């Protein structure tokens, strides 16, 4: 059921113990929005636990509260009254689904592709889930303390490519301005997010070796085999190496995570790639989408390129 932001806040306020989650393979918005909401709710006297079915990426561990993020444990039910899912439809939260089985689900998401399957859904086409949390804190009597402000800023910055992408709107920059007034240090956030271990820079070099252009140079891809993909802490930003190539309309990153399981990210300069993501059961926006293919690398690559060919037509 679709609800308004006011109704979503009522749901949050009616619960005493809340379990907050986001998608697997979490990014700065997934981690930032969940941490900020948890901090805001704790400030309102509530018990809020952030549970993510994945490791927190190393470059997000600077965020206050990231050390308190828990992972679901097999056979263990979460002690909460409400499951809050941010930054995704309920189908991408991994094993948190089992830990929270039976709980009512409140979903706050900024992806237009949201499947609408949550009990209660607030879905608005914002720059980031963190922008929704910003508005909740701003409109419903919260304070932009560091443990709220820094994660929100991080979510905004990562989902907009540091305010470069087309999803950057006046509201996004106004929110960011308010967060700076509250004391967020933008250079500290970017330094933390951009810092890389030597191994990652070497991994980037190896990933670039896999670069292939298709469709007369209109699609550029990186295709990481299991050894390379699983040796990397993160592949955030990899797709941008090939996205900037002259004449490229669509950039794609295919990562083989297991024998029959590949994760795929797609970026375009305007063509609608969300259709491709939906075809494979994933989600995203017109220009940025992600999904997985349960096939080995070579087959996944073939399927993905075929689907992208349709978009180019
Ligand atoms: Mn997001």
CATH number of the domain to which 184 belongs: 3.90.1640.10
Centroid of ligand 1 to alpha carbon of 155 (angstroms): 7
Domain boundary among 166, 194, 222: 194
Evaluate whether 131 touches 49 at the Cβ level (below 8 Å): no
The protein residues having their C-beta less than 5 angstroms from ligand 1 (an ion) are: 29, 87, 128-129, 159
Q: Where are the alpha helices (DSSP H) in 44-185?
A: 96-99, 129-139, 146-159, 170-181
List for the chain the helix, strand, coil content (%; round to 5): 40, 20, 40
What is the model's pLDDT at position 285?
A: 85
Centroid of ligand 1 to alpha carbon of 311 (angstroms): 23
Identify the band that residue 130 occupies on the pLDDT scale cut at 50, 70 and 90: very high
Centroid of ligand 1 to alpha carbon of 34 (angstroms): 11
What does the pLDDT average to over 230-247? 92
Centroid of ligand 1 to alpha carbon of 112 (angstroms): 11
pLDDT > 90? residue 234: no
Centroid of ligand 1 to alpha carbon of 313 (angstroms): 29
What is the model's pLDDT at position 196?
A: 87
Query: Where are the extended beta strands (E) located within the chain?
Result: 17-21, 47-50, 82-86, 105-109, 120-123, 212-214, 219-224, 250-258, 261-268, 283-284, 288-293
List pLDDT tens digits, range 71-126.
Answer: 999 999 999 999 999 999 999 999 999 999 999 999 999 999 899 999 999 999 99
202 and 142, same structural domain? Answer: no
What is the model's pLDDT at position 55?
A: 94
37 and 160, same structural domain? Answer: yes
Give the count of beta carbons closer than 10 Å to the beta carbon of residue 99.
25
Centroid of ligand 1 to alpha carbon of 141 (angstroms): 24
List pLDDT tens digits, range 158-188.
Answer: 999 999 998 999 999 999 999 999 999 999 9
pLDDT > 90? residue 295: yes
Domain boundary among 169, 194, 219: 194
Query: Where are the extended beta strands (E) located within 26-80?
Result: 47-50
Centroid of ligand 1 to alpha carbon of 202 (angstroms): 28
What does the pLDDT average to over 42-58? 96
Beta bridge partners of 51: 70
pLDDT > 90? residue 128: yes
Domain boundary among 170, 194, 218: 194
Identify the band that residue 283 occupies on the pLDDT scale cut at 50, 70 and 90: confident
pLDDT > 90? residue 252: yes
Centroid of ligand 1 to alpha carbon of 159 (angstroms): 6
10 and 128, same structural domain? Answer: yes
179 and 245, same structural domain? Answer: no
Work out how many domains the chain is built from and give that number. Answer: 2
Centroid of ligand 1 to alpha carbon of 285 (angstroms): 10
Centroid of ligand 1 to alpha carbon of 89 (angstroms): 11
Closest alpha carbon to 176 in 143, 132, 134: 134
What is the domain extent for residue 87? 5-194
Cβ neighbours for 212, distance < 8 A, ≥ 6 positions apart: 220, 221, 223
Q: Quote the pTM value.
A: 0.79
217 and 180, same structural domain? Answer: no
SS3 194: helix
239 and 212, same structural domain? Answer: yes
Centroid of ligand 1 to alpha carbon of 33 (angstroms): 8
pLDDT > 90? residue 236: no
CA dihedral 60, 64, 70, 71 (to 10 degrees): -10
Identify the band that residue 233 occupies on the pLDDT scale cut at 50, 70 and 90: confident
Centroid of ligand 1 to alpha carbon of 222 (angstroms): 23
pLDDT > 90? residue 44: yes
What is the model's pLDDT at position 237?
A: 86
229 and 123, same structural domain? Answer: no
170 and 134, same structural domain? Answer: yes
What percent of the chain is modeled with pLDDT above 90? Answer: 93
287 and 240, same structural domain? Answer: yes
Cβ neighbours for 61, distance < 8 A, ≥ 6 positions apart: 67
Centroid of ligand 1 to alpha carbon of 135 (angstroms): 15
Centroid of ligand 1 to alpha carbon of 216 (angstroms): 32
238 and 109, same structural domain? Answer: no
Q: CA-to-CA distance for 69 and 303, rounded, in angstroms?
A: 36
Mean pLDDT of the chain: 96
């Amino acid at each position: 059921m679709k609800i308004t932001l006011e109704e979503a806040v009522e749901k949050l306020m009616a619960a005493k113990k809340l379990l907050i989650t986001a998608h697997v393979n979490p990014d700065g918005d997934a981690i930032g929005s969940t941490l900020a909401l948890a901090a805001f709710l704790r400030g309102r006297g509530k018990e809020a636990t952030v549970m993510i079915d994945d490791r927190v990426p190393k470059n997000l561990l600077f965020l206050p509260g990231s050390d308190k993020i828990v992972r679901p444990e097999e056979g263990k039910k979460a002690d909460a009254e409400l499951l809050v899912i941010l930054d995704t439809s309920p189908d991408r939260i991994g094993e948190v689904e089992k830990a929270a089985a039976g709980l009512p689900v409140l979903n706050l998401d900024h992806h237009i592709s949201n499947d609408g399957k949550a009990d209660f859904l607030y879905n608005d086409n914002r720059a980031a889930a963190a922008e929704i949390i910003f508005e909740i804190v701003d409109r419903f009597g919260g304070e932009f303390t560091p443990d709220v402000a820094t994660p929100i800023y991080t979510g905004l910055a990562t989902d907009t490519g540091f305010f470069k992408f087309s999803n950057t709107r006046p509201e996004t920059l106004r929110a960011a301005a308010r967060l700076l007034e509250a004391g967020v240090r933008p250079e500290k956030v970017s330094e933390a997010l951009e810092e890389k271990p030597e191994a990652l820079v070497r991994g980037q070099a190896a990933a670039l070796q896999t670069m292939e252009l298709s469709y007369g140079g209109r699609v550029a891809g990186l295709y990481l085999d299991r050894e390379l993909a699983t040796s990397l802490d993160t592949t955030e930003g990899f797709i941008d190496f090939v996205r900037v190539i002259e004449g490229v309309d669509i950039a794609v990153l295919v990562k083989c995570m297991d024998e029959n399981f590949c994760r795929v990210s797609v970026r375009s300069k305007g063509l609608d790639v969300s259709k491709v993501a939906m075809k494979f059961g994933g989600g995203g926006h017109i220009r940025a989408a992600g999904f997985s293919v349960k096939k080995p690398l070579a087959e996944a690559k073939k399927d993905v390129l075929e689907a992208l060919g349709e978009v180019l037509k």
